[in-house]
């Protein structure tokens, strides 16, 4: 090759490289331009409001902005800095210890003894910090907040497992070769797509103590008027009420959720069972039939097939529905508001339906405490993130993606 040919070849190589680079840049610009609308929408409607809420939470903000108060709203909610440090630090150490324990169990490393020592240290100090800090936090922080978190916890525990069990059973039945399968599937879905306010208002009238369908039916079955439950108007704990039936005096601290909250839970389960069933049906449809055939050839019973084939293979669906269910209960507002509105102010009766989201609303709208309500929203977001993290760690190794 001559020098002239070499030079032509180099320059054409450079031109090609430049052309490639220009195309790459153009493609990158194109990609960013396509990303721009979504990013702008996300920024405008999600991220900016979140940062603005954080900004509000650090001010004395009653309708309009007041002076900067730093973390005072957070301290009002959660107690002194020492309390917060003890509890969060303690929980952090306990979580770290748990992660470490999983590592120790999974690995066969030489440094196991050191890890075990570290684990013991984290467990011990995390536990002590939490045990010492938590009661102080309860005493120094906003008692309404902790009560609301407990009620939210009740609400979660009282709804999500039932949603999952009922919807799985329903989906399993609907998955069989039964007559009118599609019709049944349609019948169970409307509660989810019905406007919440409308369906909650209907359930509120169904639970009406004197004119509601449930009590009229119970009355018709011979339940004496004095024994009819007051449903949404009943602040007594469900355990206390059940205890009465059996002549046991259950102390109020062990009373559990109020009957009013139980009524709201029933509504919640009714709403989500249909939707969850449809998701489960999709999950069941994805299990290869060859696995069932193999199980049958191996002589597995129906229960064994369900236990060892179906349940593990729908575990991603179960995990998804559980996570969404729990997060949903922490954000629940509309139906609780509508159903209990007739009883009294937000959280009625006697504050027993005051979930965390209701408390935030109460502080924001009833109290005009914009700053404090924003701080509470961040506390709730923190709780939800922690729960999601724990759920994720628990699910690891238990969820099978086929």
Residues that bind other proteins (CB under 8 A): 30, 33-34, 36-37, 40, 62-65, 205, 208-211, 216, 225, 233, 235, 342-351, 362, 365-369
Q: How far is the CB of 368 from other proteins (least distance, A)?
A: 6
Q: How far is the CB of 63 from other proteins (least distance, A)?
A: 5
Q: How far is the CB of 342 from other proteins (least distance, A)?
A: 6
Q: How far is the CB of 203 from other proteins (least distance, A)?
A: 13
Q: How far is the CB of 17 from other proteins (least distance, A)?
A: 21
| Placement of tokens 């940062």 in the chain | 51
Measured from the CB atom, is 22 or 36 closer to other proteins? 36
Measured from the CB atom, is 190 or 345 closer to other proteins? 345
Q: How far is the CB of 226 from other proteins (least distance, A)?
A: 9
Are 287 and 314 contacting, i.e. CB atoms less than 8 angstroms apart?
A: yes
Measured from the CB atom, is 69 or 287 closer to other proteins? 69
Query: Using CA atoms, how far apart are residues 267 and 210, in angstroms rounded to an integer?
Result: 19
Measured from the CB atom, is 117 or 365 closer to other proteins? 365
Q: How far is the CB of 16 from other proteins (least distance, A)?
A: 19
Whole-angstrom CA distances from 57 to 10, 69, 147, 357, 365 are 62, 9, 21, 16, 15
Are 361 and 337 contacting, i.e. CB atoms less than 8 angstroms apart?
A: yes
The torsion angles phi and psi of 14, rounded to 5 degrees, stand at -60, -45
Measured from the CB atom, is 90 or 141 closer to other proteins? 141
Q: How far is the CB of 356 from other proteins (least distance, A)?
A: 17
Measured from the CB atom, is 38 or 180 closer to other proteins? 38
Measured from the CB atom, is 122 or 240 closer to other proteins? 240
H or E, element range at 302:
helix 302-305
Q: If we measure between CA atoms, which residue out of 220, 330, 196 comes closest to residue 275?
A: 196
Q: If we measure between CA atoms, which residue out of 346, 332, 339, 379 comes closest to residue 142?
A: 379
| Placement of tokens 């924001």 in the chain | 364
Measured from the CB atom, is 11 or 205 closer to other proteins? 205
The torsion angles phi and psi of 177, rounded to 5 degrees, stand at -85, 75
Q: Say if residue 235 is exposed, middle or buried (CB neighbours under 10 Å; 0-12, 13-18, 19+).
A: middle
Long-range contact list for 56-65, CB < 8 A, 24+ apart? 56/370, 56/371, 56/374, 57/371, 57/372, 57/374, 57/375, 57/377, 57/378, 58/371, 59/371, 60/371, 61/369, 61/370, 61/371, 61/374, 62/368, 62/369, 62/370, 62/371, 63/368, 63/370
């Amino acid at each position: 090759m001559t020098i002239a040919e070499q030079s032509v070849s180099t320059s054409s190589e450079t031109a090609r490289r430049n052309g490639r680079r220009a195309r790459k840049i153009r493609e990158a610009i194109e990609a960013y331009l396509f990303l721009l609308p979504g990013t702008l929408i996300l920024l405008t409607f999600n991220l900016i409001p979140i940062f603005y809420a954080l900004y509000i939470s650090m001010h004395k903000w009653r309708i309009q902005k007041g002076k900067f108060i730093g973390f005072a709203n957070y301290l009002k909610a959660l107690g002194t800095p020492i309390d917060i440090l003890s509890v969060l630090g303690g929980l952090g150490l306990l979580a770290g210890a748990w992660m470490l324990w999983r590592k120790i169990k999974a690995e066969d490393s030489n440094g196991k003894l050191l890890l075990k020592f570290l684990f013991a240290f984290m467990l011990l100090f995390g536990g002590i910090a939490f045990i010492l800090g938590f009661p102080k936090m309860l005493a120094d922080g906003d008692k309404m907040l902790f009560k609301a978190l407990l009620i939210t916890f009740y609400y979660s525990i009282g709804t999500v497992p039932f949603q999952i069990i009922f919807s799985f059973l329903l989906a399993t039945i609907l998955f069989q070769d039964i007559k009118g399968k599609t019709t049944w599937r349609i019948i169970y879905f409307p509660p989810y797509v019905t406007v919440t306010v409308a369906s909650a208002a209907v359930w509120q009238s169904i639970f009406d103590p004197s004119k509601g369908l449930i009590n009229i039916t119970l009355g018709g079955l011979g339940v004496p008027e004095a024994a009819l439950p007051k449903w949404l108007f009943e602040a007594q704990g469900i355990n206390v009420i059940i205890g009465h039936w059996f002549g046991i005096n259950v102390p109020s601290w062990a009373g559990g959720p109020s009957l009013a909250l139980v009524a709201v839970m029933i509504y919640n389960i009714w709403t989500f069972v249909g939707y969850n069933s449809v998701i489960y049906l999709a999950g069941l449809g994805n299990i290869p039939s060859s696995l069932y055939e193999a199980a049958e050839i191996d002589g597995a019973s129906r229960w064994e097939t369900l236990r060892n084939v179906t349940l593990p293979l729908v575990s991603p669906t179960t995990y998804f529905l559980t996570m969404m269910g729990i997060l949903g209960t922490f954000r629940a507002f509309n139906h609780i508001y509508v159903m209990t509105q007739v009883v009294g102010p937000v959280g009625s009766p006697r504050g027993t339906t005051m979930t965390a989201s209701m408390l935030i609303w109460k502080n924001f709208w009833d109290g005009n405490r914009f700053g404090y309500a924003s701080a509470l929203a961040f506390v709730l977001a923190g709780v939800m993130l922690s729960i999601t993290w724990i759920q994720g760690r628990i699910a690891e190794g238990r969820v099978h993606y086929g």
